[in-house]
Structure 1
């Protein structure tokens, strides 16, 4: 029997329950995809539509990891800012990359529409809210993005913010009306169903144990199967093992945490008076949204470089929620969960070709919903020869993650962000 999904809001509200068999025997394919998260599934669907024979190997269940446990925010951008991308890639390439991130949003939206994924439950709007007065900087920045990229952004003053969010914490916000939030597990499972319908062979509970990648035909092995393919795509995330050591050394597994409150529609909607999702702009901030027809709050935040018991973190997240909305003091947390994301040190996705016929598509931590769509799409285009847009990510390669020192640096940086955010918020009072 296949292992169950981790207990989350999404697994409790999964629209379907289909499973896929273990990989067994000798299998021939054009492309072998390792990893059944949103990047791997997007690539599988694109390649299946192009007529390639696909084998997808997933160690657990489709969208079992961060792809099916996250906040469900779909918006343009990356985990790092445009200025940092410009410094590394140059102005023109940075703008191309940002436009590609916008395309990622539309890939998800069009899949939901074209496949009729009712269980995806998309809700428009994501607001980036500030706990300090930016003295006009936020409005200027949003107007610049509107001019340069055509984003549908609406600046919200302190008065407007407090009409939507009944919290004394927020000073101003920008509402991205072209962004949306949704049910990522139902979305991922729908991509798998469609890829399978088109002939892709999807195998759950089939972890890869070894791979020979030097010859024209690559050999990928699981416990019970041997797959021969012309191309291999590593579309793994925070749970990546050492089958491809270069990939294992290039990312940092970072845990994040989410809680779901009890059902209390009047209390919840009295505090959060919008169906738009809220992204706290603090670098160590929270993200949250209403779910279950506005009767519950899904609240995420906190990061650690090791997995902590979600019940411990739930206490901290609930404390943060009540500090933001004091009127929610009586609101209880029903469940809590965690998941591992993969981050590169440069905070950009790692998307590219490692050697002939071997591709990587990972490190989507912090902004995964649009970037997994981008990654899966451009890698598939590279395999079919349709485009070489994957080369746009060449400045953000498989840089060494720093090992134990890298993990320590991430944790220290996060704590420093928390301290800096607290000082900035205090000084704005």
Structure 2
């Protein structure tokens, strides 16, 4: 039985009742498989367009990656913008970037319009570099303003160190459009909104099969079924073999997070900003202040989903002290892990799988803005409003490598980490010599 694990978000979640499992045969216009952020967003967009919806969830609402991530809601996709341009061309890349901004705005708007509680948005995110790269960051800033009308603020090393008390960072770009929040409470607010508007959500109701015949689909669970015209797969990193070719097109990638003890006055020795922070390494550190004086710190990307809380705490404590040695002796109150669904091309699977079958999944650790806009794009397509899903035509279902996929991905990550270490060591040595 899949349920909520012990982490910061579940310790501070809004009260929510367990939803009944599906135990009978029901009918709906659309059956959505997975009640994480993608499934919930798709359901709301369809309900708003007059469709009847049933969501089937193997565990609890947003118990997976949607409810235990860093809580960053930012522009862009998991794949970099330059790589998208090379693959799709400038026009499609610009449209996809604009779509990602719409995703950020949609979440912010939902919180305000429907007065979701416990997930207020805190604006700002600093993207810091761990080696000397100021000239390149200025070029990025200028290009984003020129080509995409998106404005970032450049911070030199002194400005960065005024906010973040560490020698590890050099320069930064600040995104004032993005924000950070409590993702689990947002999903719970969305689930309540869906139910108040006639949508049905069944927890502990894993899909076991989808049978298609005569333009209709029957989605079966162990104890019930849904007869529908349309199915949307929103399975995420926890999807199993029952998802067929979709399951063979993504890798479950683990990331880790911890919550520190209250820092009190020590916080001022570390951070003088409420901005979220992420560095430029391939397996980056990302963190933010929660509850006024605690650090929620995440990082490390691996194909091995380590569950040992004590070991997780030790690993990420070492990462924290590498950046902020002044926090030596810090206590970790909670540690947890989560699985993200990554496609090999690092873009989500948003589009048709067959007649009346759609995918909205594989957001690759960048789902807080892309899952909501993915849900909107799919709803538009189902309702015949737009064909914006065609923006993702270049990103199909690439085989993930099967049993060898995780080992290959781990080898790639190991090589990228060595590149990070080389660049950082070189810059730190130069900075020491200049001083």
Where on the TM-score scale, by shorter chain, does this alignment land: which range?
over 0.9
Partner of 2:431: none
TM-score, length of structure 2 as denominator length:
0.96
- Structure 1 residue 425: Cα displacement: 0.6
Question: What is the 5 A alignment of 1:187-266?
Answer: 187-266=186-265
Ranges of 4+ aligned residues in structure 1 off by more than 4 Å: none
- Structure 1 residue 297: Cα displacement: 0.3
- Structure 1 residue 348: Cα displacement: 0.5
Tell me, in whole angstroms, the C-alpha distance in 2 between the residues paired with 1:339 and 1:195. Answer: 25
Partner of 2:304: 306
Tell me, in whole angstroms, the C-alpha distance in 2 between the residues paired with 1:254 and 1:171. Answer: 29
Aligned 8 A contact 1:127 1:276 in 2 = yes
- Structure 1 residue 313: Cα displacement: 2.5
Aligned 8 A contact 1:213 1:358 in 2 = no
Secondary structure (helix, strand or coil) at the match of 2:97 reads: helix
Tell me, in whole angstroms, the C-alpha distance in 1 between the residues paired with 2:336 and 2:318. Answer: 16
Q: 1:335-379, CA deviations, whole angstroms, 9 ceiling, x for partnerless residues?
A: 100011000000011110011100011111221111111111101
Question: What is the 5 A alignment of 1:28-427?
Answer: 28-293=27-292, 295-311=293-309, 312-427=311-426
Tell me, in whole angstroms, the C-alpha distance in 1 between the residues paired with 2:357 and 2:2. Answer: 29
Tell me, in whole angstroms, the C-alpha distance in 2 between the residues paired with 1:166 and 1:214. Answer: 62
- Structure 1 residue 149: Cα displacement: 2.3
- Structure 1 residue 16: Cα displacement: 2.1
TM-score, length of structure 1 as denominator length:
0.97
- Structure 1 residue 17: Cα displacement: 1.8
- Structure 1 residue 223: Cα displacement: 1.0
Partner of 2:10: 11
Name structure 2 gaps, 5 residues minimum: 429-435
Tell me, in whole angstroms, the C-alpha distance in 2 between the residues paired with 1:388 and 1:185. Answer: 30
Aligned 8 A contact 1:310 1:338 in 2 = no
- Structure 1 residue 406: Cα displacement: 2.0
Higher alpha-carbon deviation: 305-314 or 351-360: 305-314
Secondary structure (helix, strand or coil) at the match of 1:7 reads: coil
Q: 1:354-411, CA deviations, whole angstroms, 9 ceiling, x for partnerless residues?
A: 1110001111122111111111110111111111111111111111111122211211
Tell me, in whole angstroms, the C-alpha distance in 2 between the residues paired with 1:215 and 1:417. Answer: 49
Aligned 8 A contact 1:290 1:297 in 2 = yes
Secondary structure (helix, strand or coil) at the match of 1:428 reads: helix
Rate the CA distance shift 1:374–1:123 in 2: closer, same or farther, 3 A.
same
- Structure 1 residue 183: Cα displacement: 0.2
Secondary structure (helix, strand or coil) at the match of 2:382 reads: helix
- Structure 1 residue 310: Cα displacement: 4.1
Tell me, in whole angstroms, the C-alpha distance in 2 between the residues paired with 1:272 and 1:257. Answer: 21
The aligned length equals: 427
Q: CA RMSD in A?
A: 1.2
Tell me, in whole angstroms, the C-alpha distance in 2 between the residues paired with 1:25 and 1:282. Answer: 49
- Structure 1 residue 4: Cα displacement: 4.1
Higher alpha-carbon deviation: 60-69 or 45-54: 45-54
Rate the CA distance shift 1:252–1:146 in 2: closer, same or farther, 3 A.
same
Name structure 1 gaps, 5 residues minimum: none
Secondary structure (helix, strand or coil) at the match of 1:409 reads: helix
Tell me, in whole angstroms, the C-alpha distance in 2 between the residues paired with 1:49 and 1:24. Answer: 27
Q: 1:207-248, CA deviations, whole angstroms, 9 ceiling, x for partnerless residues?
A: 111110343110000111111000000011011112231101
Aligned 8 A contact 1:37 1:64 in 2 = yes
- Structure 1 residue 135: Cα displacement: 4.2
Higher alpha-carbon deviation: 188-197 or 15-24: 15-24
Tell me, in whole angstroms, the C-alpha distance in 2 between the residues paired with 1:214 and 1:400. Answer: 27
Secondary structure (helix, strand or coil) at the match of 2:241 reads: coil
Tell me, in whole angstroms, the C-alpha distance in 1 between the residues paired with 2:333 and 2:70. Answer: 16
Tell me, in whole angstroms, the C-alpha distance in 1 between the residues paired with 2:183 and 2:108. Answer: 12
Tell me, in whole angstroms, the C-alpha distance in 2 between the residues paired with 1:86 and 1:116. Answer: 37
Partner of 2:433: none
Partner of 1:23: 22
Secondary structure (helix, strand or coil) at the match of 1:21 reads: coil
- Structure 1 residue 116: Cα displacement: 0.8
Tell me, in whole angstroms, the C-alpha distance in 2 between the residues paired with 1:74 and 1:344. Answer: 20
